[in-house]
A and B are shown apart, each in its own frame.
Chain A
Amino acid sequence: MNIINYLREHKFESYLVAFLLMMIPPLPMYFAARHENSLFIWIGLCIVILGNLITLII
């Protein structure tokens, strides 16, 4: 609950973090797909999902 309250009290910073989590992984994911590297695709996908989950909480 503390983390959730913190995120809601710091909306701008939370949105900024969520935005970065959504926008940083996709290009590395592209290269991971070109090199058939499933692990890095999974990592990137999880980061993007985390960004969206943070947005849900804000």
Chain B
Amino acid sequence: MTFILALTPILIILVLMVGLRWSAARAGAAGYLSALVIAVLFFGAGLKLLAYAHAKAWFLSADVLLIIWAAFLLYRVTDEAGAIRIIGKSLPHLTPDIGMQALIIGWVFATFLQGVGGFGVPVAVISPILVGLGFPPLSAVLIPSIGHGWAVTFGSLGSSFTALMASTGMSADEIAPPAALFLGIAGIFTGPIVAFAVGGWKTARRLLLPALLIGLLMASVQFVVATNGFWYIGAFVAGIFGLAIGMPIATRTRNGEKTDGSIDVRALLLSLSGYALLIVITLCIQLIPAVKNALGSVSIQMQFPETSTSLGYVTPAGPGRNIPIFRHTGMILLYTSVLAYFVFRMAGRYKNGSLSNILSGTVKRVMSSSVSIASMVTMAVIMQHAGMTDTIARGLANAVGALYPIIAPWIGALGAFMTGSNTNSNVVFGGLQKRTAELLGYSVPIILAAQTAGAALASVMAPTKVVVGASTAGMIGKEGDVMRKLLVYVGLLIALISVLTVIAVIVSERAAGA
């Protein structure tokens, strides 16, 4: 009975979003209110506990929201300057080979776009490009959907990964390595899958070598970047390297056809300048000690006392999330946005009124996401402090036991499919997965890596994302066709993550026993 009560807020969110097609914001509010009522009435949560839980959730929410807001601002700054459109228009000139076009545009460029934007941007931008190149509408939606999934966790300039750290209290050093490894391997398999989706086994075989080369490079780059403190630009840098190697490969892959190969290089370089600034600013801040220390000298953090419910569940005292105001990832993105704005403005890329378009477009776009993050994070923290998460974890551990490593990525996948995003899934299930792993004695970083990898790959199938992609490719009303096709490919990739999780758990247990 207590297991069902503890699970109720999560079930409410899932049922409302899937059954009644409520938005994440409304479902999150319902989840929060139900968690509050259940925590007070059935789990003994008192007034002081709720006060401290709300304050802790504030810091966790702020940590995620700063990134989401600034990331979308940077995207709007570059999009308003026409940069995304110019980059997208340049790529098809590289090769007439449709298989190679699918790889470069639908996979590599999609990875880059997911790295710098997310928020459904890869499919929304790329689907019309592919339709314009002659791809059937179904393929035009399918290809970038499959192509960008592996880049979601370390994309969107780190918002999903930040949410995972925020909801579990784990550091990037702990969870980035297994997460980047799992997603990198999924990324390597994504290229051949995209090629197969375009032209079956024949195209997959023909393009296997370039796909594996590009995939290995992008996966390796994302792994190195993410595990060395730059997790928020993991997918972005991987995408850059993918484009750097993919473009010369593409020009050599003609499959017997010709292309005019003409690209406005100056326009392309200017379009990429905003992202070049991001790399430069990031490296300056992280690698120059004087700059790093100066910007990190001002931070907000609060100490939280021990709390306990009337039923005896104790949350120990400890510090809340630390927010280094001037060195926070969100601020790095803000600095980049401001500088990129001036670069594009001096280059004459903006029309009158662009600044107000950028700012108003940003605020309007992120507001409902901000509300859903605020309510879901608070719900998750209340559930943790009231012992509800612990109750669910114990129930899962008792029910599933040794099979848990296999199902962990599917829990993350379920969360992303239902809530519409890797970020929301990490917020809702991160703490639960961590606690279950602890109870069962599995490596927490490995299980959390499985959580975010499964969520990333399944997020491409979220109904809201499929609707966006279908509408931009002229497939309104046929979203079901897209989902049916995606289910097979995404299912294969998540099954791969299950296998990797089991192997990783076995290896870590043997290493611990050695």
Contact = CB atoms under 8 A, between A and B. Distances in A.
Nearest to B54: A26
Contacts of A16: 367
Contacts of B172: none
A37 to B, nearest CB: 9
Nearest to B320: A30
A53 B51 contact: no
Range, interface on chain A: 20 to 34
Contacts of A42: 47
B209 interface: no
Interface stretch (B25-33, B224-232, B420-428, B435-443): B25-33
A22 B50 CA distance: 14
A50 to B, nearest CB: 11
A29 B33 contact: no
A27 B29 contact: no
B48 A33 contact: yes
A23 B58 contact: yes
B364 interface: yes
B295 interface: no
Interface in B9-58: 25-26, 28-30, 32-33, 36, 47-48, 50-52, 54-55, 57-58
B374 interface: yes
A52 B32 contact: yes
Contact of A41 (B48, B58, B375): B48
Contacts of A49: 33, 36
B109 to A, nearest CB: 31
B366 to A, nearest CB: 10
B319 to A, nearest CB: 13
Contacts of A33: 47-48, 51-52, 55
B50 A26 contact: no
A33 B385 CA distance: 15
Given A32-B51, A41-B51, A48-B54, A12 B364 contact: yes
A18 B55 contact: no
A15 B367 contact: yes
Nearest to B368: A15
A18 B57 CA distance: 16
Contacts of B367: 12, 15-16, 19
B50 A45 contact: yes
Interface string B360-374: 000110011011001
Interface in A1-53: 11-12, 15-16, 18-19, 22-23, 25-27, 29-30, 32-33, 36, 38, 41-42, 44-45, 48-49, 52-53
A46 to B, nearest CB: 11
A26 B57 contact: yes
Given A15-B368, A19-B370, A29 B36 contact: no
A11 B371 CA distance: 12
Contact of B54 (A15, A25, A36): A25
Contacts of B25: 15, 55, 58
A22 B363 CA distance: 17
A44 B378 CA distance: 14
B61 interface: yes
B267 interface: no
A55 B371 contact: yes
B29 A30 contact: no
List the 10 closest A-B pairs by CB distance, nearest first: A30-B55, A33-B51, A55-B29, A26-B58, A52-B29, A26-B54, A29-B51, A15-B367, A22-B374, A33-B48
24 contacts: A12-B363, A19-B367, A19-B370, A23-B58, A26-B55, A29-B50, A30-B51, A33-B51, A33-B55, A36-B48, A41-B50, A44-B54, A48-B54, A48-B378, A49-B36, A52-B29, A52-B33, A55-B25, A55-B28, A55-B29, A55-B375, A56-B26, A56-B30, A58-B25
Interface of A: 11-12, 15-16, 18-19, 22-23, 25-27, 29-30, 32-33, 36, 38, 41-42, 44-45, 48-49, 52-53, 55-56, 58
